[in-house]
Amino acid sequence: MSARRPPGDRHPGWLPSGLMADHDGCDELLDAIDADLRDVEAALARLDAGTYWSDEVTGAVLPDELLAERPGARRVEARPWPSGAGG
């Protein structure tokens, strides 16, 4: 049985194993966990494809230090969006 929340499920009390929670911020916490899980799944897919060690845009090699600190890293240098831009 999967411990992941069904996509789009916004019921505030849903937790793995059918546990219920009444805590404020539960959705935000679950969203953050979902985002981390998506990063891990993407990293595993890149590992399977043999592209894990490459910047997904430039093709540059991702330094070992970067991958050790952030295993889900996809870019050598993350550039912040300019002020007022989307993202």
Q: Give the Cα separation of 76 and 9 in Å (integer).
A: 34
Provide the pLDDT for residue 78: 59
Average pLDDT, the chain: 76
Share of residues in the chain with pLDDT > 90 (%): 46
Report how many domains make up the chain: 1
Q: Which domain holds residue 68?
A: 30-76
pLDDT digits (tens, 9 = 90+) for 22-54: 566 788 899 999 999 999 999 999 999 999 999
Task: Answer yes or no: pTM beyond 0.75.
Answer: no
CA angle (46 as vertex; 44, 49 as ends), nearest 5: 110
In a domain, 34, yes or no: yes
**Would you say residue 67 has pLDDT above 60?**
yes
In a domain, 19, yes or no: no
